[in-house]
Amino acid sequence: MIYLKKTRYLEIDFLKCVCILTVVYIHSISTSFSPGNFLGYLAGDITRFAVPGLFFASGFLFDKKKYTTKEILWKKFLRLIPPYLFCSICFQVIDAPGLTVARNDLNSCDFLKNIVFGNTFGIYYFVFVLFYLFALSIFFRRLSKKVVLLVWVFSFFVLFLFFKGLIARTESMFWFFRHPFIYLFYYLSGWIFSLYYHSIVSCLKKYYYKIIICGFGIITTLLFYTRICGNDFYDFPVVSQFFIILSVFVIVGLGVPRRKSASPKIVFLSKNSYGIYLLHFPIVRYCQFMYPEASSNYSIYSIVFWSLGLSVSVLLILAIKRIAGKRSIYLIGS
Phi and psi for 244 in degrees, rounded to 5? Answer: -65, -45
Q: Residue 170 in 3-state DSSP?
A: coil
Contacts of 57 (CB under 8 A, 6+ apart): 12, 15, 16, 19, 190
Residue 312 near residue 283, CB atoms below 8 Å = yes
Q: Is residue 279 part of a domain?
A: yes
Q: Is residue 215 part of a domain?
A: yes
**Considering Cα of 94, then 20, then 178, then 34, what sign does the dihedral take?**
positive
pLDDT attached to residue 233: 84
Task: Give the CA angle between residues 69, 118, 241 to the nearest 5°.
Answer: 85
Q: How many CB atoms lie within 10 A of CB 188?
A: 25
Task: Give the CA angle between residues 172, 177, 179 to the nearest 5°.
Answer: 90
Number of domains in the chain: 1
The Cα 80–Cα 68 span in angstroms is: 18
CA distances 165 to 49, 51, 80, 184, 244, Å, are 21, 21, 32, 17, 18
Tens-digit pLDDT string for the chain (334 aa): 444 456 789 999 999 999 999 999 988 875 444 555 677 678 788 999 999 999 999 999 998 877 788 888 888 888 899 999 999 999 999 999 999 999 999 999 999 999 999 999 999 999 999 999 999 999 999 999 999 999 999 999 999 999 988 887 777 888 899 998 999 999 999 999 999 999 999 999 999 999 999 999 999 999 998 888 767 788 889 999 999 999 999 999 999 876 677 789 999 999 999 999 999 999 999 988 887 766 555 556 778 889 999 999 999 999 999 999 988 888 888 7
- Structural domain span for residue 160: 10-332
Greatest CA separation for the chain: 59
**Could you tell me how far CA 147 lies from the centroid of its own chain?**
26
CA distances 104 to 87, 88, 92, 94, Å, are 18, 16, 10, 11
pLDDT attached to residue 44: 80
Q: Is residue 2 part of a domain?
A: no
Q: Is residue 1 part of a domain?
A: no
The Cα 286–Cα 164 span in angstroms is: 37
Residue 117 near residue 128, CB atoms below 8 Å = yes
**Considering Cα of 65, then 71, then 75, then 80, what sign does the dihedral take?**
positive
pLDDT attached to residue 1: 41
Q: Residue 94 in 3-state DSSP?
A: coil
Q: Is residue 4 part of a domain?
A: no
**Considering Cα of 324, then 330, then 332, then 334, what sign does the dihedral take?**
positive
**Considering Cα of 74, then 79, then 80, then 84, what sign does the dihedral take?**
positive
Q: How many CB atoms lie within 10 A of CB 166?
A: 10
Residue 257 near residue 11, CB atoms below 8 Å = yes
pLDDT attached to residue 326: 86
The one-letter code for the residue type at 6 is K
The Cα 119–Cα 170 span in angstroms is: 18
Phi and psi for 242 in degrees, rounded to 5? Answer: -65, -35
